[in-house]
Amino acid sequence: MASPESPGTYGDYTIIERYRVPEADTQFVLAQAPGRTQPWAVGGGSRQGRYFEDEQRARTEYADRIADSLGLVVGPPGAVMIPADERHLLTRRATAYRDAARAFEQSEPGPDGDESETAVALRDAADALAGQLQHLGIIAAVFESWEI
């Protein structure tokens, strides 16, 4: 949380929030300079200061830096973080989808010679799920040969 001390400055920006990392000689600041092209600044830690036009983007960077310093992982808005010890559940589900999709691919085509709508929908759903999970690094070993 921001400390109750006086705001101070970051360059020519007024500090509006400051977070001191417990038991470390590190602090992070969120600062503002109204009237500037990029009125928001975030600084502190081992990274260079960054400047923003948008307050929300600056606050997100500020929170990300604090979380990173505490060893926390921050996902995109609306994301669900999956603990490593529960990833096996997704791996099992994704493997089942993959196997079902492969079974449909090997099944006989419909009377008109085309894949059934169900087969196409299942394959597309399995591809989409695999792509997302693989992109997140959750199930790389299951879908190594599938392109994202």
Quickly tell me which residue has 């792509």 as its tokens.
Answer: 131
Q: What local confidence, expressed as pLDDT, does residue 135 receive?
A: 58
Q: What local confidence, expressed as pLDDT, does residue 41 receive?
A: 96
Residue 105 CA neighbour count, 13 Å, CB half: 10
Classify residue 59 by its DSSP letter. Answer: H
Question: Please, are residues 4 and 17 in contact by the beta-carbon 8 Å criterion?
Answer: no
Rounded-to-integer distance, Cα 145 and Cα 103, Å: 17
What's the average pLDDT block by block, 10 residues per block, for the chain (148 residues)? 61 92 85 96 87 93 84 65 65 73 68 66 71 57 42
Question: Which string of DSSP letters, residue by residue, matches 47-100?
Answer: SPPEEES-HHHHHHHHHHHHHHHTT---PSTT-----GGGHHHHHHHHHHHHHH
Q: What local confidence, expressed as pLDDT, does residue 4 receive?
A: 43
Output the CA torsion sign for 133, 135, 137, 140: positive
Q: What local confidence, expressed as pLDDT, does residue 14 receive?
A: 94
